Amino acid sequence: MYKTRRNFNAFTLAEVLITLGVIGVVAALTLPTLINEHRISQWETALKRDYTVLSQGFRKIMADYGCDTLECTGIFTTTTDEDGNEVADHDRLDAAVRSAFHVVKSHKRGEYEDRPFNYLKGSNSSLIGNQYFVFVLNDGAMVYMAINGTCRYLNSKACEYLYVDTNGLSLPNTQGKDVFSFGYLMQDGTILPETTRKWVEYTSKTYWRDNSTNCGTPNKKLKDETIAAISGQNCLARIMENNWRMDYLH
């Protein structure tokens, strides 16, 4: 009988180490991009979700009150304080938003400290908080409402002004990423974002494409911008036009 001789082919230790090294280099080059894309996708999803939730919620309030305007509901009314000053009645508004949204907590005007929100580009920042009625949704989003008591904006066509931080206290707290001006809450319960074409029709003010300080230059990425400061506050208009994609970040 003869023993069959078998030859086994295998990688040497050096070959294995080289292969692992190549994999490590590729991972180091691609992972940051993948992580960044995932983060941007999360911001996009949260923004669209909160826009939809708020739009549907205020129309629900109107339906609950049997009204065809928000002013009819009476949730944006005023009372007189002990000094005789006219102030917004936050109790009525608080009850209404709690009936329409999954609210975790709320803060009346003056109860919440101003928060700094960074500009999309540049070292500037905006302060939002103290002059707003603030409520927090169960997904962590924080909604800021500039309460004046009655529907007086845009010649009584709009009731309140909305800011939204889609992930609350979590970073980056930057306008155009997780913080947005949602614009005016209209009498019919819809939202009119600033610098959209419809906004221009109502106000005769600047369309976002005509002022690069709003949300950058059309069809240009943020990293390629040459202007010194971009607020990012009005990026919602650009994102909606781009099918809810933050094209300036991708």
Dihedral in degrees, nearest 10, Cα atoms 164, 165, 169, 170: 170
* b/e code 187-219 from CB counts within 10 Å (16+ = b): bebebbbbbbeebbebeeeeebbeeebbbbeee
Q: Which residues contact 130 (CB under 8 A, 6 or more apart)?
A: 109, 110, 112, 113, 114
pLDDT in tens, 47-81: 999 999 999 999 999 999 999 999 999 998 877 77
pTM, full prediction: 0.86
With pLDDT > 90 as the criterion, what percentage of the chain qualifies?
A: 69
Which run of H or E residues covers position 126?
A: strand 125-128
Q: Answer whether 160's CB lies under 8 Å from 146's CB.
A: yes
- Which amino acid belongs to residue 189? G
Farthest CA pair distance, the chain: 113
Task: Using alpha carbons, select from 122, 141, 183 the residue that is nearest to residue 43.
Answer: 141
Q: Is 19 buried (19+), middle (13-18) or exposed (0-12) by CB count in 10 A?
A: exposed
**232: region left, alpha or beta (phi > 0 left; psi from -120 to 50 alpha):** left
pLDDT in tens, 8-57: 566 687 766 777 777 777 666 666 777 889 999 999 999 999 999 999 99
